Chain A
Amino acid sequence: MMTDRLATGLAILATMLVIAPLLIIFVYLVFKGARSLNLAFFTQLPKPPGEVGGGMANAIVGSAVLLGLASLIGVPIGIGGGVFLAEFGRGTRLANAIRFTADVLNGVPSIVMGVAVYALIIKPKIPWLPFTGHFSAFSGGVALGIMMIPTVCRTTEEMLLMVPNAVREAALGLGAPNWRSVLSITVRTASPGIITGCMLAFARVAGETAPLLFTALGNDFWSANLDRPIAALPLEIYKYALSPYDDWHRLAWAASLVLIVLIALAVSLVRYVTSRGVLKGAS
């Protein structure tokens, strides 16, 4: 009886110790971050060190550009891979190998992904190939997009496997070609889950800093040019957190709060759009 009570007490203690850092982090983010947020944060460029004020408008825009490019690369290829795994390759050895490789790719550290993209795109100096030879937003977007692919692929496969076979057979029985049945019927039936998978990958990649450290590099000025280095919120947080200026520390907290709120907003927006808004018919 004593060991039973002790075990229960330890389990409750473990749970409290786990929830505690989460609550502390959120409380700190909200209090320290909200205090430093003002309109200037969203509209101004960073000021030189020593000057008070400034903002991170270029980082917000830069993050949006990078994440847009990453989604453009990651989502179609990921969904395509998932469709293959669930519809055309079910049970084959190729599909098993691809699934295993996707899981392995998921576990690759993000910094190694950045090193690989640097070696692939930035180091070679090929004059006739665009975006090579220098730091660019394109390479940052590619690094983030590659990180999205395995997550989207696996979630798509799982969601497509849940679609009952009767739906597919009904579509084929009505005379739809196979490609039409997969696209308009099966994928559409599974689309809420697929979109959730995309949002999960998006939320993970939105906070990634390591691959951007030497691909997108960061930028102190306005730039949405894919061919040039670009600022990003996580990069700015990293740079400001390591600096010796108190003002920059405040900005780092504010940027962290903005980053988390933006990620949460993006996820909720997509949730809303798929459940009650424009895409309602798709679910």
Chain B
Amino acid sequence: MPDIRIAQPKPQPPEPASPEPAAPAGKARPKRASSENSEIRQFLSSRGNSAIADRGFKWLMVLCALSIFGIVILIVTELILRSQLSWHAFGLKFFFSSFVDPDTKQTTYWDPVNGHFSALPFVYGTLVSSFLALLLAVPLAVGVAIFLTEMCPRGMRGPLAFLTELLAAIPSVIYGLWAMYVLVPILREHVNPLLSQALGWTGLFANDNPTGLGFVAAGVILAVMILPIISSLTREVMSAVPNAQREAALALGATRWEMIRMGVLRNARIGIVGGIILGLGRALGETMAVTMVIGNTPEIHRSLLANGTSMSAVIANEYAEAITDLHLSALTEIGLALFILTIIVNALARVLVWAVTRGAPAQVMH
């Protein structure tokens, strides 16, 4: 936007004496001496210069915009500063070490009483629950997006899309409440025994956890929460595919599903991957619903039905009550790791989505 301001009129040179050519509208302009100004000109020139107000306003807006930078810098600085204690105590081994108790020969990872802190079970739990959620959510979300974009009758499209977006509006603590008292009993009584019977041979579904909490419960509720994100982004990139692609596929004799597969999904797949990664980013950072159903046990088990924990869950549970500085610093270091992880994942997702839609990515409601 050019910086336009109302300036003082410069003194005009005296107008030439020859008559001006007639204006196309046919009105002759009256000749006047330069000392007479019309009322309008007098009013405008008396208003003065708005340069100061304009500059002040612009810098106020710049300040607001730079505050976003400032906030991110503040967050990173504080996280790094407060985790220095733990970083100096454990170094990079914080993320993959373990401590063996000499008396009982048991491996522990997180022992605030004795000052042994290792983030391995939390990293494991976050990754396992998030990837399980992706496994469950991606087929459903892409299926919904395909249905809404290509197969749905036009009248139903609006309400169904609205309902899918509504899933994103429910606060996560309500998801957690519902998961604790509706989902977990269902898993405990019906689904988990079935899973350990049918798939127990894989070693991934042991039946030694009768509570119904665990990675499967966390994965299911996380899947429900990231569904709207993946599906809305998929719908957007699928709509961005030009209709010519669809028509070309149909003209070559493809069935509807072949048209969708060849013409639409193939062109939109980068964006769909971006949407999936965005959903992963959301799942990695999700706190409340996961804390309530994952069982909060800082141990590592191969079984998906076992209790576990996650990075955000341990911060939520222990931060307000951590007494020693080392404990607090270890928790802050986990928070820093989570921050960096989600930034990388979200940046990757935004780049992918931008590459397909060629513009600022749309607002996705979390």
Contacts and interface: CB of A to CB of B under 8 A. Distances in A.
Interface residues of B, number: 97
Given A4-B258, A87-B61, A175-B44, A100 B350 contact: yes
Nearest to A235: B173
B366 A109 contact: no
Chain A contact residues, majority secondary structure: helix
A83 B60 CA distance: 10
B255 A4 contact: yes
A115 B316 contact: no
B338 A109 contact: yes
Contact of A85 (B65, B286, B287, B319): B65
A22 B79 CA distance: 36
Interface in B127-183: 139-144, 146-148, 151, 160, 163-164, 166-167, 169-178, 180-182
Contacts of B197: none
A107 interface: yes
A37 to B, nearest CB: 15
B48 to A, nearest CB: 10
A43 interface: no
Contacts of A111: 285, 287, 312, 315-316, 335, 338
A102 B71 CA distance: 10
Interface string A13-47: 11101110110110011000000000000000000
Contacts of B148: 15
Contact of A158 (B3, B175, B360): B360
Contacts of A158: 360, 363
A150 interface: yes
B112 interface: no
B260 A24 contact: no
B67 to A, nearest CB: 6
Interface residues of A, number: 101
Contacts of B63: 80
Contact of B72 (A1, A99, A105): A105
Q: Among A11, A87, A175, A241, find the residue whose CB has the most chain B CB atoms closer than 10 A.
A: A11
Nearest to A7: B257
Given A108-B343, A119-B78, A120-B74, A210 B288 contact: yes
Contacts of B360: 99, 154, 158
B275 to A, nearest CB: 13
Interface stretch (A49-57, A125-133, A253-261, A268-276): A253-261
A149 B71 contact: yes
Interface string B338-365: 1100110111001000000000110101
B75 A123 contact: no
A200 B338 contact: no
Interface in B205-258: 224, 227, 231, 255-258
B58 A18 contact: no
Interface stretch (B49-57, B100-108, B117-125): B49-57
Q: Among A112, A168, A209, A210, find the residue whose CB has the most chain B CB atoms closer than 10 A.
A: A112
A116 B346 contact: no
Nearest to A103: B350
B111 to A, nearest CB: 21
Given A29-B174, A104-B343, A154 B58 contact: no
Interface stretch (A64-72, A177-185, A220-228): A177-185
- 8 shortest interchain CB distances as A-B pairs: A207-B171, A80-B64, A14-B143, A109-B285, A177-B50, A107-B346, A179-B57, A7-B257
Given A15-B160, A210-B288, A256-B173, 13 more contacts: A18-B231, A83-B61, A88-B58, A94-B65, A101-B68, A108-B342, A150-B68, A155-B363, A180-B50, A207-B173, A210-B287, A234-B171, A241-B176
Interface of A: 1, 3-4, 6-8, 10-15, 17-19, 21-22, 24-25, 28-29, 76-81, 83-85, 87-90, 94-95, 97-116, 118-120, 123, 146, 149-151, 153-155, 158, 168, 172, 175, 177-180, 182-183, 197, 200, 203-204, 206-210, 213-214, 217, 234, 237-238, 241-242, 249, 252-253, 256, 259-260, 263
